[in-house]
Structure 1
Amino acid sequence: MSAANLDTRPHATMFDVERLVNMAWSGHIRVPHFQRDFRWQRIDVIRLFDSIVRGYPVGSLLLWRRSAEAARLKLGILEIDAPATEQALWVVDGQQRIISLANALHESGAKDSRFSLAYDLRIDQFVSRPQVDEALVIPLPVIFDLVKILRWFGTYPEAADYVVKANEITKTLRQFSIPAYEVAQGDAQVLQDIFDRMNNYGKRLSRAEVFSALFAGHESKKGESLTFDVIAQNVEEELGFGVIDNDTVLKAVLARRGPDTAREIRNEFSDEREPRGTQSGRAIIEFPDEDRDTAYRLGEAGIKRAVEFLQDEVGVPHFSMLPYRHLLIALTRFFAHFPNPDSRNRLLLRRWFWRAAVTGPEIFKGSTTGATRAFCFAVQPDDLVGSLQNLLGLVDRPDTALPDLRRFRSNEAATKIVLCSWWGQVPRSLDDGEPFEREDLSETLFDRKTALDVVRYIIPRHGVPADYRLWAADRVLAPPVDAEVAPLESKVIQKPATIESDKKWYAALASHCITPQMSQLLARDQIVAFLMARQEALQKQLADFLARRCEWKFENTPSLVELLLEDLGEEPGGGS
């Protein structure tokens, strides 16, 4: 299919940042429904502002000038009552930059950690905004506003030596010019074609981005319908599990509807599909009559059930500690078809999870792709007993080796398994002796891809011989208190004054597999002896944890209730 030509050639212009963000705040900049969701993280936003103050080019914008109805818009974290206008600018290319500027420079943007930024005058860098105002660390909404910056220096006269520097930053931010092309075109298909070409030359769109663009829905429903970003945000806000990436959300939504998550997505909601239970070359869709919004809503419900199971029964408190993402995808499919399995079946499902995590996807052809396919096809609608037996049969490998504690890498599955085993110990703070809560993890980790920010060293790295620096023995799972990330050596050697009794201190140490004898080794500066003793204790703890969770020596006997129902000739409970 060929698209029409542009009615008029693009018009080149320049927008300074002040004008651009004011247009965004007033609702005169709109995001068309075929655009991908906002994907940048905090580091991307910081780099944008750093480029601006350095005078680096930040790329050009492509804007579509046409009319727009009055609407309640959501632009990043901002909610805007936008008036009807004949001269709205719709963003064809440049959404990430515009949303970043509009949110980081607006006071309401601070509600989202990606946009909660400040400029540190001491080091000339953009940094995360501190929770309590500091004279020389000025929030971006303040340093961007001429009136607010004057008030700031009136409030903090001790910062007077930095007035000139701050004014230079203010001027640079407000006056920085961004080139743009404006297109006047009535045919939305032409602009969608431009968008597709711009985003498929060079860096390819992810599968989730393609899917979102294909099934974006009608423009008038933008903001009402679920998107993958909204689903991920809802899971994080309700369950504190962290932000699940969009490709995993897509696969989970697809898995609920049919076992082949690698199927052709362009026909997902067309009529040319196989009905449930048949397969003749086209993808199996078990809910063929669903529309897009229903599929997203029920997919979200399945993801939430899977996450609650992971947190409450499996022992995976946060997405960054999930060993493999395909396990969440398979669990979503399972809970979509069997939302309320009884306690015995939930135990068997937990057993499958840990066996699959320890075994890893390498035993399947295609690794994670093969594992996703095998596990999803193992879950058969209306057959709870058979589905669990299928899943368990795929990972019957009792001789699988344990994760290697000599290689601690927070982005690797083996280390994530170790971290889950440590969480199962109910770790306590070495600051006050109290157990950590799941909220402590979610508050620190939020959108982090790994759990590195909640792992602290006992001994400073430079004090550990090179051969032992990757050992788990020098690390504990301990969310930092008040952003303190210093090594914990002193608190292991001697009871902190903030812990009222030796008994409570010993309990805190024990929750991290540290004995009083190990503390004495550390106090005598016997670093290697300490590491070897603790490594041995951690190895035993991990083996015990996985033995209890994998239950290799136990029979996979189905639930008695299910067996009785089968004997009576009834369908097992827990259907879709």
Structure 2
Amino acid sequence: MASPAGLLSRPDARAESVEDLVARVLRGAVRIPKFQRPLVWETKHVLELFDSIYRGFPIGSLLFQRAHADADEIELGPLKLFGAELEHAWWVVDGQQRLTSLAAGLGRGAAPLHPKDPYSVYFDPVSETFAAPRSPPTAPASQWVPLPKLLNNTELSEWIFEWRHGQEAGLRRIVFEAGRRLREYRVPVYVIDTQDTKVLSDIFHRVNSAGKPLAWVDVHDALFAHKREAPTSLPELASQLETLGMGRPDEDSQLLPSLVAFAGLDVTRSFGQHVRESPDKLDGAVSEAAPALRATLSFLRVHLELPHLRLLPHSTPLPVLTRFFRLHPEPGPRTLALLARWVWRTLEDPHRDERRLRRGGVRAIDSDEEASVQRLLALAARRREPFEVEKHRFDPRSAQSRIALLGMAALRPLAFPPPRPLTADLFSRTTAGPTEEPQTGEVDVAELVREGGSEAARLLVPLTEQSGMDLDRTAANRLLLPGTGPACEEILALLRDAANLAPRILSSHAISPDVVQHLQSGDLQAALRSRAQLINDAVNALSDRLGEWERSDRPSLEYILAQMADAPAEASGQ
């Protein structure tokens, strides 16, 4: 008997915990179509949502379409993420306001600095209610718990004993219970596997009939506009990859070797040589390699925390990764972790042999995903050499300078608020009552590099007339901050105009109180010596985190068990 027209063959109905749902958003597996209608929820709506969850009230269901998603920037209100290319992403059809509130309210690591942020929410264990900062901003009540602390029970356990009220057993119990209620609350979720626009339209209109509905034409365009044509030329390929927000790959030094590697050919020989000798093997390579190259750049962005290609220390891993993602487009979690280790160890190795790494890396990759990664790891350095920024003259094209900049970027540098004019400052303090606290946010490092090019890294103090390897010629005298010219005067203005924010902002630029003290006294070389150590610490911490030099590089347990199960059968000749 034939199915009725428009009947979904396998509707997927489930209940997702808030913890799992937010984790899915944070790893880029949920996509928000770019509707024309902006987010409209205010603070009171966000507070009501979390209050309903805490009390166990229903909050309605979420509706998604399961479909392919390109690597792209993802914005959920103030939360900005980068999502890798996925074959089975969840595209939001209904529930954008609630999902954004959950992800932005719970998923940000630090308490937001913007007092007008509707997703800046606190839990008050005294009244067992949810609250938000007032405007003009005042310090949160001492017992208020920032909502992001409740998302992870382990982090909450560590944080709560630093909390001013951590010794009060009653309040502590309420906070832990609130965290459990929020994390474990289950949201009804419907995931639709269909490309039938008529079915999607019918479902959309039935679930979106209340309030001010969105127009179906907007939803349709947003859900299906992400599909793109395959590039047919090298410039088209470069332009398509540029849309990922990491810059335009160089056609000669990055794309052509990657196309050679994609075909499994010797990457140490030129593209032209291969075209002359084996034209059939590279026929159509530009269009066919586009998904693997997108996956490569997405991997570098997500797992290596690389904001822009101009900060890539060198291009050695690109061809190898392109080959890897051709044969293994969706690697397992353990593979991704080990692959990230290989890339970082390769990038940081000052003694690398690029020809050996490229040729050996491409040859190491076959149909066995985990064995391929093990062979790649065998090609990489085995131990980390401590980074010493003071030994390298700053050059934005050099590997060592780019590694230093990546260490700075890993600190998630914050922008300086605009300085207050002195007269306005005096007037506001004497006649207008309390002024609004200056506001800041993270520096968009990718945009900074894209706009600033080789001048993106600003000077901290003026260069001296001396030559040689003085610290002012190293990355110790650079910082990732919008603007031009030496930033030392802006630092002093920041200390004057935003005393409460200044320590947090300056530490995000590897500027400690010692550095500030030396700047104020005019001892610039001492300031740079102190900052050099902080940059070294930042790079070494990044290296330990991404390279995981001391961790076991074993394959996944599933792979090991499968190999053990196969061994007896092979020994018996079965």
**Cα distance in structure 2, aligned partners of 1:239 and 1:358:** 24
Shift in alpha-carbon separation, 1:375–1:246, aligned structure 2, 3 A: same
1:317 pairs, out of 295, 307, 313, with 307
Aligned residue identity for 1:292: D
**Cα distance in structure 1, aligned partners of 2:440 and 2:490:** 11
**Cα distance in structure 2, aligned partners of 1:433 and 1:462:** 31
- Tell me how far 1:267 sits from its aligned partner: 7.6
Correspondence for 1:249? 255
Shift in alpha-carbon separation, 1:523–1:329, aligned structure 2, 3 A: same
**Cα distance in structure 1, aligned partners of 2:404 and 2:356:** 24
Correspondence for 1:396? 381
Deviation sequence 1:325-344 (CA, Å, 0-9, x none): 12111111111111111221
Deviation sequence 1:45-79 (CA, Å, 0-9, x none): xxxxxxxxxxxxxxxxxxxxxxxxxxxxxxxxxxx
Shift in alpha-carbon separation, 1:462–1:267, aligned structure 2, 3 A: closer
1:471 pairs, out of 445, 469, 474, with 474
SS of match in other structure, 1:456: strand
2:289 pairs, out of 294, 299, 302, with 299
Deviation sequence 1:513-540 (CA, Å, 0-9, x none): 1122321221111212211111122222
- Tell me how far 1:437 sits from its aligned partner: 2.4
Correspondence for 1:566? 563
Taking the TM superposition and a 5 Å limit, the aligned residue runs for 1:432-511 are 433-441=440-448, 443-445=450-452, 448=453, 452-462=454-464, 467-478=470-481, 480=482, 484-495=483-494, 501-511=498-508
Assess if the C-alpha contact under 8 Å between 2:415 and 2:440 holds in 1: yes
**Cα distance in structure 1, aligned partners of 2:388 and 2:295:** 28
Taking the TM superposition and a 5 Å limit, the aligned residue runs for 1:95-494 are 226-263=232-269, 265=271, 268=274, 292-293=283-284, 295-360=285-350, 362-364=351-353, 368-379=354-365, 381-398=366-383, 400-407=385-392, 408-431=394-417, 433-441=440-448, 443-445=450-452, 448=453, 452-462=454-464, 467-478=470-481, 480=482, 484-494=483-493
- Tell me how far 1:395 sits from its aligned partner: 1.4
**Cα distance in structure 2, aligned partners of 1:389 and 1:403:** 29
- Tell me how far 1:502 sits from its aligned partner: 2.5
Aligned residue identity for 1:440: E
Shift in alpha-carbon separation, 1:267–1:329, aligned structure 2, 3 A: closer
**Cα distance in structure 2, aligned partners of 1:264 and 1:462:** 44
- Tell me how far 1:550 sits from its aligned partner: 1.5
**Cα distance in structure 2, aligned partners of 1:399 and 1:308:** 25
Shift in alpha-carbon separation, 1:225–1:435, aligned structure 2, 3 A: closer
SS of match in other structure, 1:502: coil
**Cα distance in structure 1, aligned partners of 2:501 and 2:231:** 50
- Tell me how far 1:305 sits from its aligned partner: 0.5
Aligned residue identity for 1:330: V
- Tell me how far 1:291 sits from its aligned partner: 6.6
Deviation sequence 1:12-32 (CA, Å, 0-9, x none): xxxxxxxxxxxxxxxxxxxxx
**Cα distance in structure 1, aligned partners of 2:369 and 2:508:** 37
Aligned residue identity for 2:241: V
SS of match in other structure, 2:259: helix
- How many residue pairs align between the two structures? 316
Q: Does 1:543 align with 2:540?
A: yes
Aligned residue identity for 2:500: K
**Cα distance in structure 1, aligned partners of 2:286 and 2:241:** 13
Range with greater deviation from structure 2 (435-444 or 343-352): 435-444
Shift in alpha-carbon separation, 1:460–1:565, aligned structure 2, 3 A: same
SS of match in other structure, 2:330: coil
**Cα distance in structure 1, aligned partners of 2:266 and 2:281:** 17
The two structures, once aligned, show a CA RMSD in angstroms of 2.9
**Cα distance in structure 2, aligned partners of 1:535 and 1:528:** 10
Correspondence for 1:138? none
**Cα distance in structure 2, aligned partners of 1:266 and 1:236:** 24
Aligned residue identity for 2:243: E
**Cα distance in structure 2, aligned partners of 1:532 and 1:262:** 41
Moved over 4 A (4+): 263-270, 288-291, 463-466, 567-570
Assess if the C-alpha contact under 8 Å between 1:316 and 1:420 holds in 2: yes
SS of match in other structure, 1:238: coil
**Cα distance in structure 2, aligned partners of 1:515 and 1:267:** 54
Assess if the C-alpha contact under 8 Å between 2:416 and 2:505 holds in 1: yes
Correspondence for 2:206? none
**Cα distance in structure 2, aligned partners of 1:314 and 1:301:** 19
**Cα distance in structure 1, aligned partners of 2:244 and 2:531:** 37
SS of match in other structure, 1:503: coil
Q: Percent identity?
A: 23
**Cα distance in structure 2, aligned partners of 1:342 and 1:402:** 31
**Cα distance in structure 2, aligned partners of 1:559 and 1:531:** 44
Assess if the C-alpha contact under 8 Å between 2:247 and 2:450 holds in 1: no
**Cα distance in structure 2, aligned partners of 1:537 and 1:463:** 25
Assess if the C-alpha contact under 8 Å between 1:338 and 1:384 holds in 2: yes
- Tell me how far 1:257 sits from its aligned partner: 0.9
**Cα distance in structure 2, aligned partners of 1:551 and 1:352:** 10
**Cα distance in structure 2, aligned partners of 1:292 and 1:262:** 19
1:533 pairs, out of 530, 534, 540, with 530
**Cα distance in structure 1, aligned partners of 2:415 and 2:339:** 32
Assess if the C-alpha contact under 8 Å between 1:242 and 1:318 holds in 2: no
Correspondence for 1:523? 520
Shift in alpha-carbon separation, 1:266–1:527, aligned structure 2, 3 A: closer
**Cα distance in structure 1, aligned partners of 2:491 and 2:467:** 19
**Cα distance in structure 2, aligned partners of 1:549 and 1:244:** 25
- Tell me how far 1:242 sits from its aligned partner: 3.3
Aligned residue identity for 1:444: E
**Cα distance in structure 1, aligned partners of 2:405 and 2:514:** 24
Q: Does 1:513 align with 2:510?
A: yes
**Cα distance in structure 2, aligned partners of 1:464 and 1:488:** 20
- Tell me how far 1:249 sits from its aligned partner: 0.4
